[in-house]
Amino acid sequence: MKRILACLVAMVLPMVVVADDAPPESPEMVKIFNGTDLTGWDGDPRLWSVKDGVIHGETTEEKKADGNTFLIWKGGRTGDFELRLSFRCNATNNSGIQYRSRHITDANPRNAWVVRGYQHELRNEVDFPNVSAFIYDEGGKRGRIIMTGERGSWEKDGKKTESERLIDQDGWRALFRLNDWNDVIIRGQGNHIQHYMNGRLILDFHDNAPDLALLDGILALQLHAGKPMWAEFRDVRMIQLK
């Protein structure tokens, strides 16, 4: 009933803000970070560690990232899946969660952890459009594929569509926990992708571009090149969707 009402409203006011709650967490969720060390993960040991039970990635003036670098999960794939975790980062740079991506082994001989594909952007910001959760085409052609707050698609003709707004600036300011932990859910089923932040749907996307859509690949966490930064991740868990 909630979805029917939302669609009827959207037919009259296509830019109306529509709120959707996250689905309940499945009891079959599996923890893929043990909270103690980086067993099952692979990244630059100068930059990635475990501190106080969380994954901690950090670059400094002395220990720089030679291009964007990633901590790659080696325990499985992200085809049809649901991922849940919490993150926090500082405001000097941005981070990201790669999924349905691929490991590029010949891109940079000084950086063995180059990843390309869908990225759930992570930022410690509250001013649209530079906020967390938009889909970025890391290493690809499309740049910012779809923005936070949009329900839309990328079509066969190479054009992006938007059908309705899921959250606006005021809603985001009330939702996002600046300088604190934020909860992320990423769901991918076929070409349908959804991002949730702190229990609310904030991106809903269908990738209908046959030559560009990604349906499977690896999971990884990003440290961005450039200004020194840090990002942390905890309670990382995942389930394969049937």
Q: Is residue 8 part of a domain?
A: no
Domain contains 5? no
Look at residue 79 in the predicted model and tell me its pLDDT. 97
Indicate the pTM of the whole model: 0.91
In whole angstroms, give the CA distance from residue 30 to residue 84: 10
Count of the separate structural domains present in the chain: 1
**Is the pLDDT score of 21 beyond 50?**
yes
Task: Check which CATH number belongs to the domain holding 218 and give it.
Answer: 2.60.120.560
> Cβ(241)–Cβ(28) under 8 Å?
no
Strands (E), the chain: 30-31, 41-42, 48-51, 54-59, 69-73, 81-89, 95-104, 114-122, 135-138, 144-146, 150-154, 160-165, 182-189, 192-197, 200-207, 218-223, 229-240
**Does residue 2 lie within any of the structural domains?**
no
- Per residue in 74-131, pLDDT (tens digit) is 999 999 999 999 999 999 999 999 999 999 998 777 899 999 999 999 999 999 999 9
Determine, yes or no, domain membership for 228.
yes
In which band, very low, low, confident or very high, does the pLDDT at 17 lie, cut at 50, 70 and 90? low
Q: Which domain holds residue 174?
A: 18-240
Is 217 within a domain?
yes
